[in-house]
Amino acid sequence: MIKEIFEGIAHIIIKRPKLVAGFVIALFCIGLYGMTTLTMATGWETYINKDTPAGNLQAKYEQDYSSDTIILIIEAGDPLSPDVLSYIDNLETDIRQQQNIDSIYSITDVLKAYNGGTLPSSRDETLRIVNSLPESTREKVYPSNVMTLVQIQLTEGLSEEVQKTVLGNMESIIGTSPVPPGVTVEMSGSPAFNQQMSEGLSSNMGILIGGALVLMIITMGILFAYVRHRFMPVLLVAIGLVTSLGLMGLAGIALNMAVIGAFPVLIGLGIDYAIQFHARFDEEARKGSLEDAVFNTVTRTGPAVMYAMLATSMGFLAMFVSTVTMIQSFGLVAIIGINTCYWVSCIGMPTLALLLNYKPKPDQTGQCYAVGTDACDTIIGKQKSTKKSSFSYGDFLTSTSVKIAKNPIPVLLIAGLIALIGFQIDPTIPVSSDENSFVPSDMPAKINIDKVSRVIGASSTADLMVQGSRVTDLDTVIWMKEFQDYELAHHSQLTGVTSIVTYILQYNGGVMPGTQAELNSVLAKIPEETRESVLSDPMCGIIRFSTEDMEMMQQETLKEQMKTEIEFLEPPIGITVQPAGSFELYTTLLGSMSESKDQMTVLGFIFVFAFLIIVYRHLHAVSPIIPIIFIVGWNAVMMYIIGLTYNPLTATLGSMTIGVAAEYTILVMERYAEEEERLHDPIAAIQESVQKIGSAITVSGLATFFGFSALCLATFPIISNFGISTLIAVAFSLIGAIFIMPAVLSLMGQLTEWLEKRKAPRAPEGSE
């Protein structure tokens, strides 16, 4: 079936190359159109699936209780001078006229409240009022003698696009308002943070893709000089990448940090596929006609590289076991991308070569970069007949592989021991889920948020959603009061609490109502705007604990303790109390990454193992699994040594490594199977296979390595750290394929011989 498909593709290319080229161009044009529909996602939906129960809870929280705040940081030599106060007052007046502004709170509002609705006429009068303010109020609006803050509360439940529009309007107002000398105004808060993160990701995408393509051009210029049209693989990868982006846009897949990090990975793997097809075509063109070269390239290299590509897809497919949306999108985009790049190379390379009337360069080297039966025999034969006095990388690989194949046990023991150490220390590698650590430290919005946190303290909260049919019943309100008091008494990290109970006490003289009728009367007294901030409807309310500044691990510990205490204190029947907001989102993300990274790795092994058994149906088909296991363990050792942490991107390292390493090990295994069938000698087959494909894999690996290295150009730490970890994975994948696979294949060969001898019929006793 597979053979017939690839033969059909080859015949179509030979008979209708212009038609096939038109098809590829049409696909490219569709990709260009699809790219115009791409969107950027930076909100909570990049971490949690909105269609799950947890996602529904988060969506309701965002809709009813998450009203983002924009903070204007106004710095001046004297923030209390009449000129500065007048400027702030005029700025507020203009901002209040904009849509989606819920409330504004600043020093001018406080001064007017204490001065009969007007600003003080002199600085001395202003200073007298400020000195008389409660410390908590003064810290919010006048945290230092060179800074004042304007807190702008947005309407609840605004989308990112609407928030972006509001920010744009504010920037326009600030830009057109006459600013007193020496005054600077900067915006902070989560809307500004998200907007700058989105803009930064967009610019990083261009840097990463451009950097990867430039590195590919350099790599092709240096390592692929022996073929005609050496930069053709870069063109094919560019077409494949644009097509992949277009398919993403048409499918409604939004860009996020993980997806952007996937693009250099696609370029690195895509260039590998293009190199294999180009090199094989060049070799076949040296042997016969271009038509024969097309047929042999498509029918022989096509299936071999396809199996390697599908095995790589198995590693990415394992990412769907994760509950983190960002990780799932990384796996989906990677699968779409490598499949697209593979088929563009498989179809586009021979088609383009036919149209260009491809003519190979004269032989100038003894290297061979192709894969498949007899792919390298011509060049290798010439290499054997030419004596070289200088160092030969191919000879080094051959001699080393033979030594390893003759002494496989010590090599595997040492490699296995290092891997075992890696699996032991992997749980000790820190896991980071704090979004602030994902972005550049010099991003203005992050600097401003840190500045605000330093002067007014942490603004984080631990929010709990209270849901049920009787949230406003007296027994529920009494339970909430008891629960709040219990939590504040038992957790020093909690510094205060706000809920419907807070306002019930405030509007009832500090005591709880005794009957349901009294409670209903008090609820009716609370202003609607105040009540809705903590009670969106009679069936849903919020308990909002203010907290100290805590590390994510501390927040997770606190959350788990509070969940246990909720069960212990037993809410009224029909009432559920669940963590929500960032308190739930990022602590759950922390646990999800810790759990899913191991699940993805194990599932990746299972998928690749099942794929190899189904495709090859032979004992040696499991041989790639052993070096892949070692490589995953080595990754952990190196991450521990250089101090890398796990984040939503590096958490995919295990399953991604399985996919990348599977390609190289499968190519070695395929070549070994061909040579062993011909020579019937495992050691000789290993020597021949490494000699004919070792340099090929090294060049392909280096091309992939340089493609992945573009990730290190990212300004976002989450992406650049992922780049470092992927470089480690590719380097170890090459080592595993070239130096560990010979040892594994040697043992497999010995085991196969032993099994064949056991199956062979024994001669009757007494017979000669």
Q: What is the pLDDT of residues 698-746, one digit of tens each?
A: 777 787 788 778 888 888 888 888 888 888 988 898 888 888 988 888 8
Confidence of residue 386 (pLDDT cuts 50, 70, 90): very low
Of the candidates 631, 660, 692, 668, the residue with the CA atom closest to the CA atom of residue 745 = 668
Predicted local distance difference test score (pLDDT) of residue 378? 47
pLDDT in tens, 637-655: 999 998 888 887 788 888 8
pTM recorded for the entire structure: 0.77
pLDDT in tens, 228-271: 888 898 899 999 999 999 998 898 888 887 788 788 888 888 88
Distance CA 655, CA 262 (A): 14
Distance CA 44, CA 58 (A): 8
Predicted local distance difference test score (pLDDT) of residue 263? 80
562 class by beta-carbon count within 10 Å (0-12 exposed, 13-18 middle, 19+ buried): buried
Q: How confident is the model over 68-87, as a mean pLDDT?
A: 86
Confidence of residue 377 (pLDDT cuts 50, 70, 90): low
Question: Concatenated DSSP letters for 604-671?
Answer: HHHHHHHHHHHHH-SGGGGTTHHHHHHHHHHHHHHHHHHT--B-TTGGGHHHHHHHHHHHHHHHHHHH
Q: How confident is the model over 611-626, as a mean pLDDT?
A: 79
Distance CA 500, CA 471 (A): 10
Predicted local distance difference test score (pLDDT) of residue 637? 93
Beta bridge partners of 147: 75, 144
Among the residue ranges 18-32, 194-208, 617-631, the one predicted with the least confidence is 194-208
Q: How confident is the model over 204-213, as a mean pLDDT?
A: 81
pLDDT of residue 475 exceeding 70: yes
For domain 2-31+196-360+393-430+588-757, give the CATH number.
Answer: 1.20.1640.10
Q: At a CB cut-off of 8 Å and minimum separation 6, what does 416 contact?
A: 630
Distance CA 306, CA 6 (A): 11
Q: How confident is the model over 133-160, as a mean pLDDT?
A: 79
User: Cβ of 164: how many Cβ atoms within 10 Å?
Assistant: 16
Q: List phi, psi (to 5°) of 383.
A: -65, -40
Distance CA 657, CA 601 (A): 9
pLDDT in tens, 538-572: 888 889 888 887 777 888 889 999 999 999 989 98
Query: So where are the chain's domains?
Result: 2-31+196-360+393-430+588-757, 69-188, 469-574
Confidence of residue 590 (pLDDT cuts 50, 70, 90): confident
Evaluate whether 285 touches 293 at the Cβ level (below 8 Å).
yes
Half-sphere exposure of 537 (CA within 13 A, CB side): 8
Distance CA 579, CA 587 (A): 10
Phi-psi region for residue 457, left (φ > 0), alpha (ψ -120 to 50) or beta?
A: left
In 653-740, which ranges are continuous DSSP H helix?
653-679, 682-709, 717-735
Predicted local distance difference test score (pLDDT) of residue 705? 83
Evaluate whether 580 touches 57 at the Cβ level (below 8 Å).
yes
DSSP secondary structure code for residue 567 in this structure:
H
Predicted local distance difference test score (pLDDT) of residue 103? 82
pLDDT of residue 385 exceeding 50: no
pLDDT of residue 136 exceeding 70: no
Confidence of residue 457 (pLDDT cuts 50, 70, 90): low
Distance CA 285, CA 318 (A): 39
Confidence of residue 456 (pLDDT cuts 50, 70, 90): low
Q: For CA atoms 640, 607, 332, 203, give the dihedral sign.
A: positive
pLDDT of residue 40 exceeding 90: no
Better-predicted residue by pLDDT, 427 or 622:
427
Overall fold of domain 69-188: Alpha-Beta Plaits (3.30.70)
β-strands 494-498, 69-75 pairing: unpaired
Confidence of residue 479 (pLDDT cuts 50, 70, 90): very high
Q: Which residue has the tokens 């846009």?
A: 249
Confidence of residue 370 (pLDDT cuts 50, 70, 90): low
